Amino acid sequence: MAILQTTELAIQFGGLRAVDNFNISINEHELVGLIGPNGAGKTTIFNMLTGVYRPTEGDIKLDGVSIVGKKPYEIVKQGAARTFQNIRLFKNLSVIDNIKIAYHNEMKYSTLEGIFRTKRYWKEEKKAHQESLDFLKIFDMQDYANTLAKNLPYGKQRKLEIARGLATNPKILMLDEPAAGMNPQETYELMDTIHFIRDKFNITILLIEHDMNLVMGICERIVVVDHGKIIAKGLPEEIKNNPDVIKVYLGE
């Protein structure tokens, strides 16, 4: 069953049709790459999928339910989490608090209980703390729990953003160039982590990546966009040998 499906998705900014006739169907547990040159429309697609932009045309179904017109936080609740091309963290909060905020949706106490600090509040709070620590362990970041997000090395900020997305308990996780700005060693480790979390949390992943070689190594299926349109879809081997794709990448 498709966890994410778009039909004839399109968005127009003034005279620019940034994305046009975008059709994809991603099944549960798949790891799909979305690639294309600068300005191809990749981030705009994510912005539509997560409610940041409202599409001018077409439909998006998340686990069978249309999400067009919903607010970003509603879409998160429905099971889609993302990271941003330019990292977005609560920079002045600790690493563990960044994770806990993502848990907030799930906590079972009312605002009043929070204010009066009831027994239930502390119980939920302790549980959230422990689960947040467990998340950090998966990313080997438990030693940074009390570090302010802004003081983390760049690669670890990227990892924290992914961990925070996962903490919302998504069905699908969308990563916008997670390896941007990382060195080759960090990139290699990150790709390993992405595979690992896909299996551990049994989720679906849609990954935007600029570097074609990188995406070839980790994705099972690839969608290539250029000038807002899909120019190829298929297995990494097929994509690598597709003349249209080669032209777009060599022409850059």
Residues that bind Mg ion (CB under 5 A): 42-43, 85
Contact call for residue 43 and ligand ATP (CB under 6 A): yes
Residues 6 or more apart in contact with residue 20 via CB below 8 angstroms? 10, 228, 229
Q: DSSP readout, 26-77?
A: EETT-EEEEE-STTSSHHHHHHHHTTSS--SEEEEEETTEE-TT--HHHHHH
Residues 174-213: x/- map of binding to ligand ATP (CB under 6 A)? ------------------------------------x---
Site for ligand ATP contains 39 (CB under 6 A): yes
Two tokens at 10?
Answer: 């399109």
Cα distance between residue 188 and residue 19, in whole Å: 31
- Assess 33 for contact with ligand ATP (CB under 6 A): no
User: Phi/psi at 29 (nearest 5 deg)?
Assistant: 75, 0
- Residue from 3, 6, 35, 44 in contact with ligand ATP (CB under 6 A): 44
Q: Is 42 in the site for ligand ATP (CB under 6 A)?
A: yes
Instruction: Please report how close the Cβ of residue 47 comes to ligand ATP at its closest, in angstroms.
Output: 7
Q: How far is the CB of 42 from ligand ATP (least distance, A)?
A: 3
Question: Tokens in use for 67?
Answer: 């999400």
User: Taking the complex as a whole, how short is the minimal distance between the CB of residue 43 and Mg ion, in angstroms?
Assistant: 3
Nearer to ligand ATP, 112 or 252 (CB): 252
Count of other CB atoms within 10 angstroms of residue 227 = 16
3-state SS class at 173: strand
CB of 70 to ligand ATP, least distance (A): 19
Number of shown-chain residues binding ligand ATP (CB under 6 A): 13
User: Which residue ranges make up the site for ligand ATP (CB under 6 A)?
Assistant: 13, 16, 18, 36, 38-44, 85, 210
